[in-house]
Chain A
Amino acid sequence: MSIRNVCLAAATLAALAAPSLAGAETSPDGRPIMKHVNVAPDATVEVSNVQGRVEVATWDKNEVELVAELESPKDELEFEANERYVRISVERPNGKYRHDDDDEDDATLTLRVPKGIRLIADTVSADIAVSGLRGEQKLESVSGEVQTQAFDAPVRATSVSGEVSVVGNGGKATVSTENVSGSTTVGGIRGDYHGEVVSGEIRATVAAAQKIELNSVSGDIEIKAELTPTSRVNMESVSGTLTLKIKPPVNAEFDVESFSGDIDSCLGPKAHSTSKYTPGSELNYTQGNGGARVEMQTLSGEISICDR
Chain B
Amino acid sequence: MNTIPFGPRNPPDDPLLAKAAELPKDVAPTHDLWPGIAARLGEAEKPAARPFRWPLALAAGVLVASVSALLTWSLVRAPEGPVPSTQVAKTTPEPVPTEPVPTDIVPVKYGPNSGLSAKDFGARDELLRQFRGRFASLKPETRAAIAKNLAIMQTAADEIDAALAKDPASGMLKGMLVGTYKQELQLYSTVVTAGDGLTRRI
Q: Which A residues are within 8 Å of any B CB, using their own CB?
A: 18-19, 22, 43-44, 46-50, 78, 80-82, 84-85, 87, 89, 96-99, 118, 120-125, 138, 140-143, 158, 160-161, 178, 180-181, 196, 198-199, 211, 213, 215, 217-218, 234, 236, 238-239, 255, 257, 259-260, 274-275, 278, 280, 282, 284, 295, 297, 299-300
Contact yes or no, A142 B47, CB < 8 A: no
Q: How near does chain B come to A242, taking the closest CB pair, in angstroms? A: 13
Contact yes or no, B2 A238, CB < 8 A: no
Q: Is B4 an interface residue (CB 8 A)?
A: yes
Specify which of A180, A217, A295 is in contact with B145 (CB 8 Å cutoff). A180
Q: Which residues of A contact B170 (CB under 8 A)?
A: 259
Could you show 26 A-B contacts with beta carbons less than 8 Å apart? A18-B47, A46-B198, A47-B197, A48-B196, A49-B195, A82-B45, A82-B47, A98-B137, A99-B139, A99-B140, A122-B193, A124-B138, A124-B195, A125-B139, A141-B194, A161-B145, A180-B146, A180-B187, A181-B148, A196-B182, A198-B183, A215-B183, A217-B180, A239-B155, A257-B2, A300-B159
Q: Report Cα–Cα, A97/B19, bound state, in Å.
A: 33
Q: How near does chain B come to A127, taking the closest CB pair, in angstroms? A: 13
Q: Report Cα–Cα, A85/B42, bound state, in Å.
A: 13
Apart from A84-B45, A125-B138: 4 A-B pairs, beta carbons within 8 A: A84-B44, A238-B160, A282-B1, A284-B2
Most buried by B among A125, A198, A211: A198
Contact yes or no, B45 A85, CB < 8 A: yes
Specify which of A118, A213, A299 is in contact with B160 (CB 8 Å cutoff). A299
Number of interface residues of B (CB under 8 A): 51
Q: Is B156 an interface residue (CB 8 A)?
A: yes
Q: Which residues of B contact A239 (CB under 8 A)?
A: 155-156, 159
Contact yes or no, A140 B199, CB < 8 A: yes
Q: Which residues of B contact A47 (CB under 8 A)?
A: 197
Q: Binary interface profile of B, 1-30, with partner A (CB < 8 Å = 1, else 0)? A: 110100110000000000000000000000
Q: Report Cα–Cα, A280/B195, bound state, in Å.
A: 44
Q: How near does chain A come to B63, taking the closest CB pair, in angstroms? A: 16
Q: Report Cα–Cα, A240/B70, bound state, in Å.
A: 27
Q: Is B167 an interface residue (CB 8 A)?
A: yes
Q: Which residues of B contact A260 (CB under 8 A)?
A: 163
Chain B: interface secondary structure? helix
Specify which of A19, A50, A198, A213 is in contact with B195 (CB 8 Å cutoff). A50
Specify which of A48, A138, A142 is in contact with B138 (CB 8 Å cutoff). A142
Q: How near does chain B come to A232, taking the closest CB pair, in angstroms? A: 8
Q: Is B130 an interface residue (CB 8 A)?
A: no
Q: Binary interface profile of B, 175-202, with partner A (CB < 8 Å = 1, else 0)? A: 1100110110011001101111111100
Given A125-B142, A181-B149, A217-B156, are A142 and B8 neighbors across the interface (CB < 8 Å)? no
Q: Which B residues are within 8 Å of any A CB, using their own CB?
A: 1-2, 4, 7-8, 43-47, 49, 137-142, 145-146, 148-149, 152-153, 155-156, 159-160, 163, 166-167, 170, 172-173, 175-176, 179-180, 182-183, 186-187, 190-191, 193-200
Q: Report Cα–Cα, A234/B155, bound state, in Å.
A: 23
Contact yes or no, B183 A196, CB < 8 A: yes
Q: Which residues of A contact B138 (CB under 8 A)?
A: 99, 124-125, 142-143
Q: Report Cα–Cα, A121/B152, bound state, in Å.
A: 28
Q: How near does chain B come to A70, taking the closest CB pair, in angstroms? A: 15
Q: Which residues of B contact A85 (CB under 8 A)?
A: 44-47
Name the 6 nearest CB pairs between A and B, nearest first: A48-B197, A19-B47, A44-B44, A143-B142, A161-B145, A89-B197
Q: Which residues of A contact B145 (CB under 8 A)?
A: 143, 160-161, 180-181
Contact yes or no, B191 A278, CB < 8 A: no
Contact yes or no, A297 B195, CB < 8 A: no
Q: How near does chain A come to B83, taking the closest CB pair, in angstroms? A: 16
